[in-house]
Amino acid sequence: MFLTTILYLLVSYIRMQGLLLLVFAKYQHLPFIQILSTKSTPTGLFGFWGNKGGVNICLKLYGYYVSIINCHLPPHMANNDQRLEHFDRILEMQNFEGHNIPNILDHDLILWFGDMNFRIEDLGLHYVQESIENRSYTDLWQKDQLSTAKRCDPLLREFQEGPLLFPPTYKFDKNSNNYDTSEKKRKPAWTDRILWRLKRQPSAGSHTPRLPDPHFYLSLKSYISHMMYTISDHKPVTGTFDLELKPLVSVPLITLVPEGLWTAKDMLISYSLTKDFISSSWDWIGLYKVGFRHINDYVSYVWVSDNEVSCSDGLNQVYINIGDIPETEDQFLLCYYSNSLRSVVGISNLFKIQPHAFLEKDPLGEAQPQI
């Protein structure tokens, strides 16, 4: 609900049992976000059960390839090797054969987060608890299994993480801020992590380090846990990033304009296509109130191919029905949805629908626009 009040809307989602991944975006970015693939990778019982594994949404953002992964890796202290195997398996399974999408390691950005279940080795329960109480995390960092693995694994080392300046996020008694007081008394650990990897550019020579693309830069602004939430035995973790990029695509595939030619029931829409865009008979244009949450929250829509009234010099026109929309001061916008690309490829500027009382009649009885 909070995201929708600041003009974010749901772009894509994927679920595998208890694993859920949702991608939201501000509406002005919609024409430059193309959902390429959604994929689930179960790694549970015999590699088929989805209680463990990962889910991925692959998209293009202003022309850059971005993969977002949410995962749940095997639990328990002794299963560290299994966790690393599942991490590698999830990564290996993100292939996109037949979709003309590069290997995931060639994507400009991988965001990877979830309950990774890495634990703190060697140190005893009381020492760990005392270190947490004193906010003395240095020794705990050294024995964190993920940090240890990154020191040994070149590929894992390419995934960055912010500093762990918050207390371990597992395991808590439910509805409290107390670490596990059950008979098992599980040792606290940073199980919930957020990692990212930027694509490395080809190096000039064998001794020259490969640096991230200067036109695509991600910086971490905050990496924190939220102790006030007590409904789970985990504490949620959030990361806030700034992404600076030089767009590879800056012109939307579709330009939409509400023409302001109104009748009591219809509104004329003009739209133009770029040369690269291939339309489908299943493409449609939706009319939305500002603040809509999902692409299906239209108040009216029109199938483009079935309702075209004019087509000349690259300019196309259709009518959309507005007769059932109550008079309101709300702002609206138009979105063109491409069925083949599974994405919004054009949006209009914001506008208001004229009240019916302002649609005056001409001598022939036709409603005249009042712009």
Of 166-170, 179-183, 314-318, where does mean pLDDT reach its minimum?
314-318
pLDDT surpasses 50 at 28: yes
Residue 179, beta-bridge partner list: 172
What digits encode the pLDDT tens for the residues 58-80?
Answer: 999 999 999 999 999 999 999 99
Q: Of 359 and 86, which is predicted with more confidence?
A: 86
Of 18-27, 36-45, 195-204, where does mean pLDDT reach its minimum?
195-204
Residue 48: the pLDDT is 67
Q: What is the pTM of this model?
A: 0.89
Q: Which residues contact 192 (CB under 8 A, 6 or more apart)?
A: 113, 114, 115, 116, 169, 170, 225, 234, 235, 236, 237
**Is residue 237 within 8 Å of 227, Cβ to Cβ?**
no
* Average pLDDT of every residue of the chain: 89
- Burial (CB < 10 A; 0-12, 13-18, 19+), residue 46, is exposed
What mean pLDDT comes out for the span 211-220? 83
How far lies 300's CA from each of 15, 76, 169, 326, in Å? 29, 52, 46, 12
Going by the DSSP 8-state scheme, the letter that residue 105 receives in this structure is: G
Q: Which residues contact 300 (CB under 8 A, 6 or more apart)?
A: 286, 287, 320, 321, 322, 324, 325
Cα separation, 33 vs 352, whole angstroms = 26
Residue 356: the pLDDT is 56
What number of other Cβ atoms are within 10 A of residue 152's Cβ? Answer: 9
Radius of gyration of the chain (CA): 26
What mean pLDDT comes out for the span 27-42? 94
pLDDT surpasses 70 at 257: yes
Cα separation, 247 vs 52, whole angstroms = 36
Q: Name the pLDDT band for 367 (thresholds 50, 70, 90).
A: very low
* H or E element, residue 147: helix 145-152
Of the chain, the percentage scoring pLDDT greater than 70 comes to 88
φ and ψ at residue 61, rounded to 5 degrees:
-120, 110
- Burial (CB < 10 A; 0-12, 13-18, 19+), residue 16, is buried
